[in-house]
Structure 1
Amino acid sequence: MTWHRKPLFGFDLETSGIDPEVDRIVTASTVRYGGGAPTSGRSWMADPGVEIPEEATGVHGVTTAHAQQYGRPAAAVIEEVTTSLALAVAAGMPIVAMNAQFDLTLLDREARRHRVRPLFERVAPRVLDPRVLDKRVDRYRRGGRTLTDLCRHYVVQLDDAHTAEADATAACAVTWKIAHRSRWLPRLSLDELHHEQVGWAREQAEGLRDYFARTEGKEEWAAGVRLEWPLIPALSRVGR
């Protein structure tokens, strides 16, 4: 049985911002998708311990006051999310995450910040990133490549976009559709596909970096493009 006929384990975060080195988890979800069973999931809300900027609240809808009132301590949430992912990996499931580099790196930094053992020190995840896969199988298609764009292109229903559970479920559904349409992808094992994505993601990031470098007004952005996937290594101690 090919990997896309077996369970996938979706993962998504909603955060206080877009810098995985300094921003914090606000909500998180994991979902078990496919494999002939109903989709099931678990969601968390954390009190991130910092102010949630209005720009971030405008995306996911969670204010600082709401997170302080209803969120659980960040360390407990991070431990539970990391453990959930580690158990799924140990059970043989791949982690599916849209723009995995961001979510997995931010989770890693949060784990280090709160003295939780990071995921990649517990297990060796095989990761599927629909953003990377889509750019590989249909690299010349014009238009956006956000999760909403991919759901529209692959005819996947996305309700409550920018809630972690909805986005995690949609990422799994898009990944399944990509595999179903691109018959050569399921022929690869998960180990092979993970390895290939490391190279594809690097090529895609290099292309973005080169585009920034030659585009007037965006030259400085080129230096911020990271080539590692699915995790940017932690080079120094993460501050609180």
Structure 2
Amino acid sequence: MTWMSGPLAAFDLETTGTDIETDRIVTAAVVRLDPDGTVARERTWLLDPGVVIPEQASAIHGISTERARRHGASPATAIEEITAAVAEGMASGTPLVVMNARYDLSLLDRECRRHGIEPLGERLGGAPLPVIDPLVMDKHVDKYRKGRRALHALCAHYGVPLDDAHDARADAVAAARVVRRMGEKYQPFGVMSLPDLHDLQVRAAAEQSVSLQAYLRRTADPAAVVEPAWPLVPRRP
């Protein structure tokens, strides 16, 4: 029996921006998919992040500051619920699929600390695992493929429908289905043990960061630094 024959959990955030240290969660989804890809359970959240949502972010996910303030839950309440939902699935051994896990899991960690909530890693007694990140895995198994690696591009490449991109629930479900397609297509990815698969991604993410950093230093910024840690970026002093 492999992870491909069991359920998957998936997690996604839509946010106010792209900085894990300063940006905030606007919407979130935690879903559980059966082995056949159907959604067995789901929870979604709309938060009032407590700050103005930039127009650029609103244009992507469709949530305005006014809507978030009027209909969103208090961030402390919602972040506790989100973290508890993610922790529950991971504590049971269900692999967690997160597209660009380095961002979503790190931002959730910072939001927990901002609001005095026990972070995911502390609830689990260590770094979150097992995590499966379709972005890291796609770059690893198909290193030289040209084109974008955003979720909508991965869905198109692997034949997974994505009808409502940048909706947290839709993105979470699509990411999990992409991972299953990858597991079917590439071996030994689909038959690896979850600890081995997680460790592979730790190494792959670090190698990808080194490669990107070298490219940026050659072509754009000689001082560019690309974070190698995965799936959680440690807090800096």
Q: TM (normalized to structure 2)? A: 0.96
Aligned residue for 1:47, secondary structure, equals coil
Who is 1:89 aligned against? 90
Q: How far off is 1:220 after superposition?
A: 5.7
Who is 2:68 aligned against? 67
Aligned residue for 2:28, secondary structure, equals strand
Q: How far off is 1:28 after superposition?
A: 0.2
Who is 1:193 aligned against? 197
The answer for unaligned runs of 5 or more in structure 2 is none
Q: How far off is 1:177 after superposition?
A: 0.4
Q: How far off is 1:9 after superposition?
A: 0.5
Report 1:25-64 matches (<5 A).
25-36=25-36, 38-39=38-39, 40-64=41-65
- Distance in 1 separating the partners of 2:38 and 2:227: 36
Q: How far off is 1:37 after superposition?
A: 7.2
- Distance in 2 separating the partners of 1:221 and 1:107: 28
CA-to-aligned-CA distance 1:131-164 (integer Å, 9 cap, x gap): 0111111111111100010000000000110000
CA-to-aligned-CA distance 1:71-102 (integer Å, 9 cap, x gap): 00000110000000110011110110000000
- Distance in 2 separating the partners of 1:37 and 1:29: 16
- Distance in 1 separating the partners of 2:170 and 2:112: 24
Q: In structure 1, which of residues 165, 177, 191 is the aligned counterpart of residue 181 of structure 2? A: 177
Report 1:17-32 matches (<5 A).
17-32=17-32
Aligned residue for 1:42, secondary structure, equals strand
Question: Is 1:122 matched up with 2:123?
Answer: yes
CA-to-aligned-CA distance 1:34-80 (integer Å, 9 cap, x gap): 32473031100110000000000010000001000000000011000
Q: How far off is 1:33 after superposition?
A: 1.2
- Distance in 2 separating the partners of 1:181 and 1:38: 20
Count of residue correspondences: 233
How has the CA–CA distance of structure 1 residues 37 and 57 changed in structure 2, closer, same or farther, with 3 Å as cutoff?
A: closer
Aligned residue for 1:51, secondary structure, equals coil
Q: TM (normalized to structure 1)? A: 0.94
- Distance in 2 separating the partners of 1:222 and 1:95: 30
How has the CA–CA distance of structure 1 residues 99 and 75 changed in structure 2, closer, same or farther, with 3 Å as cutoff?
A: same
Who is 1:207 aligned against? 211
Report 1:129-144 matches (<5 A).
129-144=133-148
Who is 2:80 aligned against? 79
Q: How far off is 1:118 after superposition?
A: 0.3
Instruction: Report % sequence identity.
Output: 48
Q: How far off is 1:5 after superposition?
A: 1.5
The answer for unaligned runs of 5 or more in structure 1 is none
Moved over 3 A (4+): none
